[in-house]
Chain A
Amino acid sequence: MLLYMLTLISKWAIPLLLLVVPIYGYIKKVPIYEAFVEGAEEGFTTAVKIIPFLVGMLVAISVFRASGAMEYLTQILNPLTSRIGAPSEVLPLAIMRPLSGSGVLGLSTELMRIYGPDSFIGRLSSVMQGTTDTTFFVLTVYFGAVGIKKYRYSIVTGLTADITGFIASLYICNLLFR
């Protein structure tokens, strides 16, 4: 039932938006096509503007990941995180969470393939994937779009939210699924 409703919403949300907004605009006597084009024009400049920011960030993250430095970090953190009930298998996922959205998806898919989606690790990795956003990507893209170079305390806030999300996922999964 819940699954049916959720898939229904996610299937219909975008078509509905594309229908309701133009109808609403037309009723309100907005020149809808002209307004659309005017708005769409901004899309190009904004997307191009973020390129240098995204190149800088993705290169650093990619080098970090591909070199195996991440596995060392996992080994260093493991004694600490195993104490709060985190299986060592999900640790790379926790480290990847703020860095790369596609990385997280790849890792959690792999964990579900190996352990099954209904295992503790499968459930925990699902929850971790669904919790908080890719902090570095969001900061890079959003600040990049307006040319902000000094992020001030927003990195600390974002990373603290990621750590909190990880601990809260562990807590709730240990409570419900153990």
Chain B
Amino acid sequence: MLNLIWLILLASGIIVAALNGNIEIVTEAALGAAKGAVEICFDLIGIMALWLGIMKIAEQGGLVRSIARLLKPLMVKLFPSVPPDHSAMGAIILNLSANMLGLGNAATPFGMKAMQELQELNVGSEEASEAMCTFLALNTSCITLIPATIIGVRLSFESSNPTEIVGPCIFATGIAMIIAISLDYWFRSHSRWGRKR
């Protein structure tokens, strides 16, 4: 699936550029993006270090575990393959909370931490585990209660009511989230992709 999407993105781009007689743009875009990707990762290093450091304090103090215990009934239903007291649960909750609050830069480190914990359960496989798929289904469709960036853009263009979009955003993401969780559940129990080969 991923291989096909990757090929389509590249091939359709190159073919269209060639047909338009504008093939130089491919080189420019490819090299620029490769450089940009590394820059993104370098920007991430500091932010990751900061939040993983803070998280370690919370972890050693037992804060992460208490939060996880609070939401245990829900988490056990969503992640049946993860032991209820596993440290992945706490990281998942932190990631989703950061997402909801619109703290994008804190959400990413927490999310990676969660993935590392889940990968331990996945015994180093190169194939995504079911819990990982559920986590990412939640993550990509997660509700943002404070979409600060959009509100900022709307403010800068002097909107008469910059926050009127918050309710509709929550509605639309809520629907997307319900569909994502249901589909993930369906895949887990029915699809051939859902089983370990």
Contacts from A to B (Cβ < 8 Å)? 2-3, 6-7, 9-10, 13-14, 17-18, 21-22, 24-25, 27-28, 30, 32, 35-44, 46-48, 50-51, 54-69, 72, 105, 108-109, 112-113, 116-118, 122-123, 126-127, 129-135, 138-139, 141-143, 145-158, 160-162, 164-165, 168-169, 171-173, 176
Contacts and interface: CB of A to CB of B under 8 A. Distances in A.
Nearest to B95: A142
A59 B163 contact: no
Contacts of A63: 9-10, 13-14, 17, 26, 29-30, 33
Given A67-B16, A131-B169, A35 B33 contact: no
A150 B127 contact: yes
Given A43-B48, A43-B109, A161-B140, A148 B128 contact: yes
Interface stretch (B68-76, B77-85, B178-186): B178-186
Contacts of B56: 35-36, 38-40
A157 B137 CA distance: 6
A133 B141 contact: yes
Interface string B133-174: 100110111101011111101100111111111101101110
A176 B154 CA distance: 18
A108 B163 contact: no
B61 A25 contact: yes
Given A36-B57, A66-B28, A67-B14, A58 B34 contact: yes
A6 B106 contact: no
Contacts of A147: 119, 126
Given A21-B63, A118-B161, A152-B193, A62 B1 contact: no
Contact of A161 (B33, B101, B179): B179
Looking at chain B's contact residues, the main secondary structure is helix
A141 B106 contact: no
Contacts of B191: 153
Nearest to A28: B61
Given A28-B62, A55-B37, A165 B176 contact: yes
10 contacts: A25-B61, A35-B59, A38-B56, A43-B48, A63-B30, A67-B17, A72-B12, A122-B159, A145-B115, A154-B128
Contacts of B179: 160-161, 164
A165 B175 contact: yes
A126 B165 CA distance: 7
B188 to A, nearest CB: 9
A127 B116 contact: no
Contact of B25 (A51, A59, A66): A66
Nearest to B108: A141
Contacts of B176: 131-132, 161-162, 164-165, 168
Contact of B150 (A38, A126, A151, A176): A126
B173 A51 contact: no
Most chain-A CB neighbours within 10 Å: which of B56, B116, B144?
B56
A9 to B, nearest CB: 6
Nearest to A66: B29
A21 B64 CA distance: 10
A32 B55 CA distance: 11
